[in-house]
Amino acid sequence: MSLLDGKVALITGAGRGLGEAYARLFAKEGAAVVINDVGRDDQGRSSAEAVAAAIRESGGRAVAHTQDISTTAGGQSLLATALEAFGRADILVNNAGILRDKSLLKLEEADWDLVLQVNLKSMYCVTRPVFAWMKEHGGGVIVNTSSTSGLVGNFGQSNYGASKAGVLGFSNVLALEGAKFGVRVWTLAPAALSALTAPLMGEEMKAQLAPEHVAHAALYMVSSLSGTRTGHTLFASGHSIRELKLVSAEGIPGAGYHGGLTAHDIAAAEDKVFRSEAALTIMDFAK
């Protein structure tokens, strides 16, 4: 018995990179997979079609969906494709994402809008119809892709970071809304080599940061191995897998309890208002 026997998984942006690695592993574990991607190779061939064909050739079940998931029509047709091909929608991985990196003063409105549209609006467009189906059919698991660039910040990525921190907010709310319907929701902050970074890496680094390592974290999230867990955020790379969560400082009583509280009182109590450890930076995830 494999981990995902009888399950149907929808994966956005699965024509290459992390999404392709998730699709191949989920199919190996018995899931039927719907491979979404708008990407095409130099000859104009669909990357989603190519991945779906390769999975079928190795004995798995897969279909392609080639529409843009940042539109409501694309989101609805992704669900329709899954239901038409396989009759179910048990797992959704919102993985498709793009970069348009520039520091804020060089960032044009079009690059802000496009990144927010693809990385964040897609969460609404795809998840809404799939969540509705899961709610009516006994539940499911949804993985939303964030990034340490948004969770801790990274220079030159204000549009990308805003979209990826928005994904965490979306997941936090969806975990609450899904709980009573058996819909589990995860946030995944991955790190792996990508089409952009692979040519710059040596063979050893490539092996360490292969997307296949992250795929095992995604499999854990969507399978029964994670039980009833929901609402968590995992960082996952070939270097480490670990939960990221918000923690609070001890704090001081606010003005409602302590009528005389002033800005000077806050300054005098900084040891309680702030936590003493250094904040995480992007470099903490590079090892």
- Measured from the CB atom, the residue of 147 and 233 that comes closer to ligand NAD is 147
Q: Clarify whether 220 is annotated catalytic.
A: no
Q: Which stretch binds ligand NAD (CB under 6 A): 35-43, 130-138, 244-252, 255-263?
A: 35-43
Burial class (CB in 10 A: 0-12, 13-18, 19+), 225: exposed
Residue 188 Cβ vs ligand NAD, minimum distance, rounded to whole Å: 8
* 192 touches ligand NAD by CB under 6 A: yes
- Measured from the CB atom, the residue of 102 and 135 that comes closer to ligand NAD is 102
Q: How many CB atoms lie within 10 A of CB 243?
A: 8
Residue 249 Cβ vs ligand NAD, minimum distance, rounded to whole Å: 28
Structure tokens at 269: 């109590």
Q: To which H or E segment does residue 240 belong?
A: none
* 233 touches ligand NAD by CB under 6 A: no
Task: Find the binding residues for ligand NAD in span 127-146 (CB under 6 A).
Answer: 145
Per-residue CA distances from 102 to 17, 27, 111 (Å): 23, 37, 9
Are 130 and 79 a contacting pair, CB within 8 Å? Answer: yes
* 97 touches ligand NAD by CB under 6 A: yes
Are 29 and 2 a contacting pair, CB within 8 Å? Answer: yes
Structure tokens at 90: 């048990």
Annotated catalytic sites, by residue? 160
Contact positions vs ligand NAD (CB under 6 A): 12-13, 15-19, 36-39, 47, 68-70, 95-98, 118, 145, 147, 190-192, 194-195
